[in-house]
Chain A
C-alpha cells in the first residue's frame, strides 16, 4: 500500500472493496467526461442451474450500473452484450460465535445476469474435470505415506518402541 495520503481506515481495505472516486462535475460546454482508469471489477460465477448457451452470471462492484457493466465488457473485453439485468443481494448476518447475537452484516452483492450478443456462446469451464484437484492429490500422497509407515511397522514391530537411530 504505497498511497500514504489516503485515510487510514480506507487503507486497510483492498482496492477492489473501496468506493469508486467521485466523477468531476460536468460543466456545460466541457468535453465529455471520460474514465481513463476504471476501478471496477467483475468476476464470473458458476450458475447454479443450467443456462442457455448465450447467458452468463457475474458478480460486480456494487457501484456499477447496468450501462457500466455493458460498456465494461464491450470496451475492455470486446464481448458484445445484448441485455443486462442486475440483482442486489443482502449480505448474510454475521453472528457472535458463542453468544449468537447479531454483530454485523457482510457487504451487499450485485449480481448481473447477462445475455450475450449475436453469435456469442460461452460454457463455464470445469477446472478439475480431467485432473485431480490439489487437495485430492495431497490425500493420495498421505495415503501412500500411511501405507509406507504401516509396512515399516510390520517389518520392525519388535523394535518399535526404540527410535530408528538405534535400529540396525
Chain B
C-alpha cells in the first residue's frame, strides 16, 4: 500500500507542476495497473495500436486508457511458431510469470481464457525449442517455459482453492478426500490416500486384492517380529559404524574419544 501511495503522490505532484504530456500519463497509468499482462513476446500477444504516441490529446478521459495486449485472431498452425522477428534472435525479452495473488482476484472466466493463452504459449515454446535443437542452435531464453509453467501451476492452485471453498460450503468437506493412517491386513500403520471408486468395496474385487480384509487377531504375532527385524537392522548399522570408527582411531590416534555414534531409536510400531 505504501508503494501505491508513493506512486499516487508522484502522479499528483507531476500533475500539479506542469501540464503533462499524454505519454507521461500513460506511463503513470501503467505504473498504477499492477494487473497488466506480462509483456511476453509471444505470437499470441501483440501491442495494440496506440494513437496517443503520435497525436497528443489534451482531454483527461483519453488518458485513462492504457496499453493493453490483444490476442491475435489467427487460428492457424503458425500459432505453433514464435513471431517472425524473433526466429533468428539470440535473446528474446520476456516478462515475469503471473503471481498467485494476481490470479486470486481474477474471475473464473478470465482465468479460463488465460489458461488457453498460456497453453498455446507453452506449445509454441516447446515447438521452437525442438526446432532450435534440430538446427544445433541454442534456444534463446529457455526460462520462458518455466515462467509459463509457473503461471499455469498458480492457476491450478487458485482453481483448487475455489473448488475447495465451494465444496466446503455445499458439503462441509474439502473437495479432495485426503488420506489417513490406517491399519493394513498385517497390522502395520500405513498412510492411505482415499479416492473415489465406482463399485463399493465389498463388491469390488480389485479393491479387495489391493486392500485385503482388516487386521485379524491371527496376525498379531507378526507385529513384534517385524519390530524385532527393524531394531536388528538399526543396531546392525550402529555396530557397523562403531567398527568403522575403531578402524579410524587405529589409523589416526588423535581422534580417540572424538567420534560419537548416536544409539538407534526404538522402532515405533503400534
Contact = CB atoms under 8 A, between A and B. Distances in A.
Interface in A124-151: 125, 127-128, 131-135, 137-138
Most B C-beta atoms less than 10 A away, residue of A16, A38, A43, A78: A43
Interface string A8-44: 0000001110000010110000000000111001111
B122 A16 contact: yes
A127 B134 CA distance: 11
Interface string B189-220: 00000011110000000000000000000000
Contacts of B131: 46, 127
A37 B115 contact: yes
Q: For the side of the interface on B, what is the size category?
A: 35 or more
Given A125-B81, A133-B137, A2 B150 contact: yes
A79 B152 contact: no
Nearest to A79: B77
A121 B194 CA distance: 49
Interface string B114-146: 011001101100110111101111101000011
A122 interface: yes
A45 B75 contact: no
Contacts of B146: 14
B88 A134 contact: yes
Interface stretch (B8-16, B31-39, B155-163, B257-265): B155-163
A102 interface: no
Given A2-B100, A25-B196, A125-B81, A38 B157 contact: no
A3 B152 CA distance: 11
Which one of A59, A122, A125, A127 has the highest number of Cβ atoms from chain B below 10 Å of its Cβ?
A: A127
B68 interface: no
Contacts of B78: 125
A76 interface: yes
A122 B88 contact: no
A102 to B, nearest CB: 25
A53 to B, nearest CB: 12
A77 interface: yes
Contacts of A45: 130
Contacts of B145: 14
Interface in B198-246: 198
B184 interface: no
Contact of B88 (A24, A43, A46, A133): A133
A92 interface: no
A44 B77 contact: yes
A2 B89 contact: no
B266 interface: no
Contacts of A122: 77
B154 interface: yes
Nearest to A121: B77
B137 A77 contact: no
B87 to A, nearest CB: 5
A115 interface: no
16 contacts: A15-B149, A16-B122, A22-B195, A25-B196, A37-B159, A41-B123, A44-B77, A44-B80, A46-B131, A78-B75, A125-B78, A127-B131, A127-B132, A128-B88, A133-B88, A133-B137
Given A1-B150, A25-B198, A56-B77, 16 more contacts: A2-B153, A3-B153, A3-B156, A3-B160, A15-B149, A16-B122, A36-B112, A44-B127, A46-B134, A77-B79, A77-B120, A79-B77, A127-B132, A127-B135, A131-B88, A134-B89
Interface of B: 75-81, 87-90, 100, 112, 115-116, 119-120, 122-123, 126-127, 129-132, 134-138, 140, 145-146, 149-150, 152-157, 159-160, 195-198
